[in-house]
Amino acid sequence: MASSIILSPGAFRLLLALAVVIAHITALDIGHLAVLLFFYLSGYWVTRIWTEKFGEGRRGMFYASRYLRIFPLFLLATLISAWARETPLGLTNFTLFGLSITGHDPTLVSWSLDLEAQFYLLLPFVAVFFVTAPRQTLAVGLALTVAGFAMHERYGFGLAKFCLPFILGGLTYGQKWRPSERAALISLAGFVAFTALTAFTPFLLKTTPDPFSRDVWAILWLLPLLPYVANSLTIRSGAFDRDLGNLSFPVYLFHQVVIFGVVHSVAAGSRLEKPLIIGGTLALAAIIYRVFDRPIDAWRVRVTERRVTQAPPSSDRLDLLHTGTRTPSPVATVSASGELPRRSPRRMPSKARKTRSVETR
């Protein structure tokens, strides 16, 4: 019973993407929380990928692999969204970097990809501290978060403001934190209780004034759920679950253009509006994933995996959001893209589990 309550990694990621969609078509302000959880997952998986499949001496290949994972789909979403909205494009729309500062983004959601890309750039220089100095790293992360809110308000820089979820994800891998199922269920109960508390605050609905930053509340809201999410990361993912996780990326990037199309159609304002948005988003995302994203990602994996596997993996240095490989790695860890060899999904005893991945955005 307990295992059935804990979602597999891919299903959980798709749920987060759908939470963002729901946040954009209702008054529920759950999008902040969902994006912060994406950042946590990215911190975990990208640190693991760097450690087990790249490491020092292969930094350039790591950067290329990460950028090629997110850029092609980002560019496609940008071009389609700009065409639909008749929005002119600037330099940042073709590089990704800087979108979180300029805000000139036809997709309306790619600011988070900009922050992820910035985290990728910094990760090779800080990953070792997730293992060797966890307390100091956490303290620095808290200090940067506090300073980041001030910097974001004045200068628009967002990475420091949102660095804590990335750091917590990296620490989850670096410290080999694998909470038990019991801890995960207690975590889920605590999260439900905090959500109930949120219902009595102005932070659940977007229509109420903010007593203070909603991002601060979202960070607090995130914390009770982390043991649950960390336990979910120990579940082996089969091919179907990996596809569910990978589907979350186009759902996230393309849902706004679907919203735009539906609200400018005959269904606008009708009972069918929200179901059409959710169904249309899932259908469009599935097509784009099958026809565009998956083939390109398979090519990316062939290129990066071929070069990476010529050198022994550096999995002895750490144990720590993105998959896509279709071929087994020479070691039973993660591929350069973050995906594992295909196996039948099954669950192992909590203390004996080995982590298995799905791609994060």
Domain boundaries, the chain: 2-352
* Predicted pLDDT of residue 15: 98
Tell me the mean pLDDT in the region 169-177.
Answer: 98
What does the DSSP 8-state code read for residue 326? -
Return d(Cα 195, Cα 191) in angstroms, integer: 6
Distance CA(10)–CA(360), nearest Å, equals: 8
- Paired tokens of 214: 């909603």
Residue 186 confidence (pLDDT):
97
Give pLDDT, residue 101: 87
45 within 8 A of 318, measured Cβ to Cβ: no
User: C-alpha 240: how far from its chain's center?
Assistant: 18
Q: Which amino acid is at 120?
A: Y
Q: How far apart are CA 334 and CA 357, in angstroms?
A: 7
pLDDT (mean) for 134-160: 87
pLDDT of residue 328: 36
Any idea of the CA torsion for 168, 173, 179, 181, to the nearest 10 degrees?
Answer: 110
pLDDT tens column, 241-267: 999 999 999 999 999 999 999 999 877
Look at 132 and 209; give whichever has higher pLDDT: 132
- With a pLDDT cut of 90, the percent of the chain lying above it is 70
* In the predicted structure, residue 308 carries a pLDDT above the cut 90: no
The strand pairing partners of 28, in sequence order, are: 205
**pLDDT for position 319:** 34
The yes-or-no verdict on residue 343 having pLDDT over 90 is no
pLDDT at residue 351 greater than cutoff 70? no
Contact at 8 Å (CB) between 36 and 219?
yes
The predicted-structure confidence for 55-77, as pLDDT tens digits, reads as follows 888 999 999 999 999 999 999 99
- Tokens at residue 279, please? 């169904």
Q: What is the mean pLDDT of the chain?
A: 86
Through-space distance between the first and last CA atoms of the chain, rounded to whole angstroms: 29
Which whole number is the average pLDDT over 295-310? 78
Does residue 191 surpass a pLDDT of 60? yes
Of residues 120, 121, 141, the one with CA closest to residue 43: 120
Burial of 329 by CB count in 10 Å (0-12 exposed, 13-18 middle, 19+ buried)? buried
Structure tokens at 284: 């469009």
**What's the pLDDT at 306?**
57
**215/213 Cα distance (integer angstroms):** 5
Neighbouring-strand partners of residue 205 = 28
Question: In this predicted structure, what is the pLDDT of residue 242?
Answer: 95
pLDDT tens per residue across span 110-122? 999 999 999 999 9
Report residue 28's pLDDT band, with 50, 70 and 90 as the boundaries.
Answer: very high
Q: What is the DSSP letter of 292?
A: I
Query: What is the pLDDT, as a whole number, of residue 327?
Result: 34
Question: What is the per-residue pLDDT for 346?
Answer: 44
Crossing angle between the packed helical segments 9-25 and 31-49, to the nearest 10 degrees: 150
Q: How many CA atoms lie within 13 A of 354 on its CB side?
A: 6
Mean pLDDT calculated for residue range 36-53: 96
